[in-house]
């Protein structure tokens, strides 16, 4: 008997997901959530940014399988039952894309591309003094699977690497800091701060004025985690005051960014539309399918979220 699994995804994107699930896991009857015949019998759902109708439509859910790594949107859902398990993707091509995104932007500033762009606008031809990679200090906020991957990638280019995390980590070639007591020491020795933290009560607004002022003058901030990590006005103030040389934001508090938001025109800021890393469909389907099969067999799936930690 097929296991019915409703699919909540962004409008217009469900058919390729359904086709791929049918190819690899035909015993899972994955359908658009509006096409499920017996919603009261559904125990497993596959979701991305589900709307308010999820839990009222499917009252007997046992588990949600998220089509991405960040689960704050599910954890913040006002109707989330206490007994529903949440399972997130652990990679699905995201690590490689994050490596590319952060390497691109770290090198943009390390190699003075921001300054050369400004010189071009002024018709100025002048070579700037360079800095060896070993003397350019890159710090990673968040050393989970994605953060650790980015740290290792950037280390391969010779950058001086450090990282900060909630729990103790050990990564070859990366100086690791742990806990609130060591956050200040970490920030004081970072020229390029890269945020890949999960969004939790403990990390919300961590990129605030007090913390960013601990960065050396002329540092840059790159956030590809969640908009809730950053106090946007604090960033604007520090850019305008010259304490920060530049910033890159892939996530903002309100997405899409409203047309009248001043971030669109902020000097020194690069904006991208939450595209740093996408979940490739085929590896995502394989991870979710394996996780559902594990739970059907009474086993613990990879990527099971600990609610009290928020990831």
> Which residues are the active-site residues?
226, 274
Task: Provide the CB-side half-sphere exposure for 51 (13 A, CA).
Answer: 7
Closest CA to 246 of 257, 236, 260: 236
CB 258 within 8 A of CB 227: no
Reported for 279-285, long-range contacts at CB under 8 A and 24+ positions apart, including other chains, are: 279/67, 279/68, 279/89, 279/92, 279/93, 279/94, 280/92, 280/93, 281/16, 281/17, 281/20, 282/20, 283/91, 283/92, 283/93, 284/67, 284/89, 284/92, 284/93, 285/17, 285/20, 285/21, 285/24, 285/25
- Distance CA(49)–CA(145), nearest Å, equals 22
- Distance CA(248)–CA(220), nearest Å, equals 8
Cross-strand pairs, 193: 139, 221
Query: CB burial class (10 A; 0-12, 13-18, 19+) of residue 42?
Result: buried
- Distance CA(294)–CA(222), nearest Å, equals 37
- Distance CA(187)–CA(113), nearest Å, equals 24
Q: Any residues with CB less than 8 A from the CB of 88 and at least 6 apart, and which? A: 66, 68, 69, 70, 71, 303, 305, 311
CA dist list (Å): 20 to 33, 34, 307: 16, 19, 29
């Amino acid at each position: 008997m097929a296991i019915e699994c409703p699919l909540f995804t962004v409008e217009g994107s469900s058919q390729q997901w359904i086709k791929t699930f049918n190819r690899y896991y035909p015993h899972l009857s994955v359908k658009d959530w509006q096409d499920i015949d017996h919603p009261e019998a559904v125990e497993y759902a596959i979701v991305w940014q589900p709307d308010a109708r999820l839990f009222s439509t499917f009252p007997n859910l046992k588990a949600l399988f998220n089509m991405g790594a960040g689960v704050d949107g599910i954890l913040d859902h006002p109707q989330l039952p206490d007994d529903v398990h949440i399972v997130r993707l652990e990679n699905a091509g995201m690590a490689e894309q994050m490596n590319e995104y952060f390497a691109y932007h770290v090198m943009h500033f390390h190699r003075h591309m921001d300054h050369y762009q400004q010189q071009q606008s002024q018709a100025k031809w002048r070579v700037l003094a360079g800095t060896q990679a070993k003397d350019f200090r890159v710090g990673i906020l968040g050393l989970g699977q994605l953060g650790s991957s980015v740290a290792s990638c950037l280390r391969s280019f010779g950058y001086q690497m450090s990282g900060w995390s909630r729990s103790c980590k050990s990564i070859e070639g990366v100086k690791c800091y742990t806990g609130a007591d060591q956050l200040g020491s970490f920030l004081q020795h970072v020229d390029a701060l890269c945020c890949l933290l999960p969004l939790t009560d403990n990390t919300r607004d961590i990129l605030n004025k007090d913390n960013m002022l601990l960065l050396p003058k002329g540092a840059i901030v790159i956030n590809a985690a969640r908009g809730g990590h950053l106090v946007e006005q604090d960033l604007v103030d520090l850019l305008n005051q010259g304490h920060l040389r530049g910033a890159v934001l892939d996530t903002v508090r309100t997405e899409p960014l409203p047309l009248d938001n001043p971030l669109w025109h902020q000097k020194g800021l690069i904006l991208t539309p939450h595209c740093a890393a996408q979940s490739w469909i085929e590896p995502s389907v394989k991870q979710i399918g394996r996780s559902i099969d594990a739970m059907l067999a009474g086993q613990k799936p990879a990527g099971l979220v600990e609610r009290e930690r928020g990831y």
